[in-house]
Amino acid sequence: MRKLIEKKIVLATHNRGKVKEMQSILTPFGITVISADELSLSEPEEKGKTFIENAKIKALSAAKESGLPALGDDSGLCVHALNNKPGIFSARYNDPKKNGFMYAMTKINEELGNNKDRSAHFSCALVIAWPDGETEEFEGIINGTLCWPVKGDNGFGYDPMFVPDGYNISFAQLTENEKNKISHRARALKLFTDNCL
């Protein structure tokens, strides 16, 4: 597996929640992270059919535009009783005119109705791309259950609705440090740091 020689990468995401989490996990490894927003990088169209395909599109585009290794993250919530929806459409499931993810969480809760199976998982695909086009891929998941009403104010996206297995509080009730020990993103990032540093 190709190693990161100069410890400097671009985070190929415009999602501030992702940037914050990735930054706190990666800086202790001595990696300097620069966000796509800081470099005003474009947002490529997510044409892929899988998390990995979309993470690769984001990483390759950012590596090409910046001339630096770039880490793309495509992630989402997969609800088992809804055939793993919204999955890769997790961001697009929300109404862009609404603040926060209450709209999307309410929609999912309504679709579940009285279904007894409220199990779900978060999935995170990470792809590191070098400016020469080479890539490496990593994936992490975490299983849990969807609660209603939602609870907690930390984190982002669907965090207030997701109770990780083994806990009775939601991702949004964990501190960022606690979430970063167990999350889908933390697990994918561990594979990245284990293999590429």
Could you give the residue numbers annotated as active site? 74
Residue 66 is a binding residue for ligand ITT (CB under 6 A): no
Residue 170 is a binding residue for ligand ITT (CB under 6 A): no
- Of 184, 188, 141, the C-alpha closest to 26 is 188
- Of 30, 9, 33, the C-alpha closest to 21 is 33
User: Which C-beta is closer to ligand ITT: that of 21 or that of 136?
Assistant: 21
Q: Where would I find the H helices in the chain?
A: 16-26, 51-66, 102-112, 176-182, 184-196
**Peptide bond just before 86 cis, omega within 30 deg:** yes
Q: Which residue is nearest to ligand ITT (CB)?
A: 157
Contact (CB, 8 A) for 46 and 15: no
Residue 13 is a binding residue for ligand ITT (CB under 6 A): yes
Contact (CB, 8 A) for 60 and 69: no
Amino acid at position 110, single letter: E
- Residue from 158, 170, 187, 192 binding ligand ITT (CB under 6 A): 158
**H or E stretch at 8:** strand 8-11
Give the separation between CA 99 and CA 5, rounded to whole angstroms. 40
- Residue from 14, 64, 80, 151 binding ligand ITT (CB under 6 A): 14
Q: How many CA atoms lie within 13 A of 139 on its CB side?
A: 13
- The mark string for 82-111 relative to ligand ITT (x by CB under 6 A, - otherwise) is --------xx---------x----------
- Residue from 146, 159, 163, 187 binding ligand ITT (CB under 6 A): 159
- Interacting residues with ligand ITT between 28 and 57 (CB under 6 A): 46
- Residue from 85, 157, 163, 170 binding ligand ITT (CB under 6 A): 157
- Residue from 56, 85, 121, 185 binding ligand ITT (CB under 6 A): 185
Query: Where along the sequence are the contacts to ligand ITT (CB under 6 A)?
Result: 13-15, 18, 46, 58, 73-77, 90-91, 101, 122, 155-159, 171, 183, 185
